[in-house]
Amino acid sequence: MPDEIPDIVVGRLPVYLRALMRMAQESREITSSHELGQRLGISSAQIRKDLSHFGEFGKQGTGYQVKFLVEQLRRILKVDAEWGVALVGAGDLGRALAHYGGFANRGFRIVAVFDNDPAKIGMKLTGGLAVQDSSRLSDAIRQSGWKVAMVAVPADQAQAVADKLVEAGVQAILNYAPITLVVADGIRVQYIDPVVHLQRMTFYL
């Protein structure tokens, strides 16, 4: 099924999940595609169409049960269990990611941090993690079977790091380095570059 679902649809599911989890925190039991659309700036028809790719989750006239839809979206996105994530890069950004508390309750946990700077190796981070030498990266991934990694290294190091990750068995990379990575087919890469988003906004100013 994943190959049949448009990637743009998959990209909206975490946005729906985030809004629904907020509703659950507000003790909301029922919602509708109209209300969800108003919160997100997405048409109710688009939300219904997106969800219909995965089954029937609501009833006409009564809407969606918030808790049930949260559970179903977590299952579809495979975040109903926790994913261990390897983080490469312990600079300012890497340390901020390691200290960020928002991963754990949404299906992810940073389980190891690597860097090649001798001054950072051994540094203690939140949760008792210690920065490990990048020379151990490949062996650690193979031994632990981690499939997800985050890259927070300078642009001139990112491709080499990605190559190591993929060779060791990582299948999904969240890349914070301002560079487009070249990876084999079947490897999923997502990019977070704040400057690109700023430049997109300033076009409209």
Place of tokens 């991934």: 141
Instruction: Determine the pLDDT at residue 3.
Output: 59
Residues 123 and 192 occupy one common structural domain: yes
* Mean local confidence (pLDDT), 93-101: 93
> What is the CA angle 11-98-104, rounded to 5?
55
Does residue 203 lie in a domain region? Answer: no
| Confidence category of residue 63, pLDDT binned at 50, 70, 90 | confident
Residue 1 above 60 pLDDT?
Answer: no
Tokens matching residue 51: 């969800």
Residue 126's domain comprises: 83-197
Query: How does the average pLDDT of the chain come out, rounded?
Result: 93
Predicted TM-score (pTM) of the model is 0.89
Does residue 204 lie in a domain region? Answer: no
Do the beta carbons of residue 51 and residue 68 sit within 8 Å?
no
Helix H or strand E encompassing 190 = strand 188-191
Residue ending a domain, among 56, 76, 96, is 76
Do the beta carbons of residue 172 and residue 151 sit within 8 Å?
no
Instruction: Determine the pLDDT at residue 56.
Output: 84
Residues 52 and 101 occupy one common structural domain: no
Do the beta carbons of residue 103 and residue 110 sit within 8 Å?
yes
| Confidence category of residue 104, pLDDT binned at 50, 70, 90 | confident
